[in-house]
Structure 1
Amino acid sequence: MMTATSATDSRANQVRDLLVGAVDLHCHSGPAAMPRILDHHEAMLDAAAAKFRALVYKDHFYLGTAHAVILEKLFPETGLKLYSGLALNNASGGFNPHAVDHAIKLGAKIIWLPTLSAQHHIDAQTSGQAKTFPKTSQKMLDPIGLSALDANGRITDPVKQILDLIAEGDIILAGGHLSAAELCLVFDEARARGVKKMIINHPTYIVGCTDADIRTLVGLGAYMEHSICMFVEGRSKKFTPQQLAHLIEVAGVDRTVLCSDLGLVGSPRPVDGYREVVGHLLDLQVGEADIRAMIGGHAAKLLNLD
């Protein structure tokens, strides 16, 4: 007969084994303009200790590829692949094809459409929908709102050029904090231009995707990337495990990716977030093969690791 202690140990071992080979496409370690609870080196050590396969550093203000390259070179014994990408906010010139071209040539794996500088994000903050979104340690210049569309609701030429660069580089296009309506138009255009790797970041937070929007975007070939930080205990928790189960059902396991979006103050460290959410998924009777796919398998394919 299994005791409570042995049952707890068994679950911990099961979670530990499931994390082997995980891939986090959305790690918010520092240095950063926003307060972070760990730096890139510490995030690397945590992920390596849990035997993750790869880690992608994300910052709203800079391309972190150089950090990833240097850390991987300094600590080859970890066996962990390190990557980064570029968010198209004001700090990088917004919809700046030159910045995207440089990022891809340097080895960026993801281009995030505007996040903090997206007009939709600014509107969400003004209305109170994003009141818990982390703030920078020091006051920054006020953002200049960005949209992928012109005054006539058409995708702008710089955005089209950026989509062509992403397609040519065969890297990931991420939706950032544009609105669901914008993303449906942009991702349709992206598919037409040959972009094959597309993800929607936290579709139910700021972005505002309905179930119908999710199905539309999945139909265009996009993955739904759900932020673990919003389903585990901490400052950013917004949804229940049951709501996550629903979102997985809407998009399908084959089009669902779980990434930490962690590193912010008041929430768990990224790997601890993975441990908690995997426990939730096991409680929900999600199969181990499906869990492995959502926390690592799909992301590995997006990074061309297989």
Structure 2
Amino acid sequence: MNKDRVMLVDGMALLFRSFFATAMSGYYMVNSKGIPTNAIHGFIKHLFTAINAHQPTHIICCWDMGSKTFRNEIFPDYKANRGEPPVELIPQFDLVKDVVDELSIPNVGLAGFEADDCIGTLARHYSKNSDVLILTGDQDILQLIDKNVSVILLKKGYGNYQVFNEGIFFEEKGITPRQMVDLKALMGDSSDNYPGVKGIGEKTALQLLKKYGTIEGILDNLSSLTPSQRLKIENDQEILHICRQLAAIHCEVEVSCDIVEALYQIDEKRMLAKFEELELKNLDGILQSRNSVIDV
């Protein structure tokens, strides 16, 4: 008996990528109601292209629910470097969830947590009995790779992916997916606005983790480090532990989704009615090649 293949979609990653792919040239695809739809249009193309390529049996879409999470309580400057979303994108946040609803795909999110935390929780749950595929453009999610969990990383354009499992990740990075949390804590993350250890970059962080395994292993062997490395880590030891809390995806969030609800089975009439309502066009090619669609 073949195992289920559950695709967990990082909704925000797909939506933002789709928006900026055309917004840079000022192309927002405004419909007759004055509503921009470029992000939604690209989201649908990315979603169906990935479905056609990877053939999931079940799909769930996860979302951030507001800009503030528990990480801001730990570190107030977390993601503080990010400005307000463009005005053309704002109406598309709710509309894309409506579209996902009309595709009979569950939307999952929880206030105070990021989509990553929801994805991590669901991945841990479903991977006990199913193969899990995580569709994202965010490399932070690579820490979730496990025996039955793979990550499909979006690259530039449609249909271009880098697929990671445990073996491929180790070949490329030389560390395990779980060590990626400590890697991010050591080197920091400018996009999420946390510093890590000042003066420790990715190359040095990787060397230390390959040799000592974890942050605890490094701290237990400070005397073996170079004087410069030891001084940097000693000076930033407190922020190092905070950064690890920020980098770690929490996999015990209070979210769930019945596997039956996530079955990939689209109602053709509902889907096309929603596309017509939003005046989404030029999707014929991608829709003709989709699978597991029902006409009711």
The TM-score bracket by the shorter chain reads under 0.3
**Which structure ranks higher in relative contact order (CA pairs < 8 Å, sequence separation ≥ 6)?**
2
Larger Cα Rg: Structure 1 or Structure 2? 2
TM-score, normalised to structure 2, is 0.27
TM-score, normalised to structure 1, is 0.27
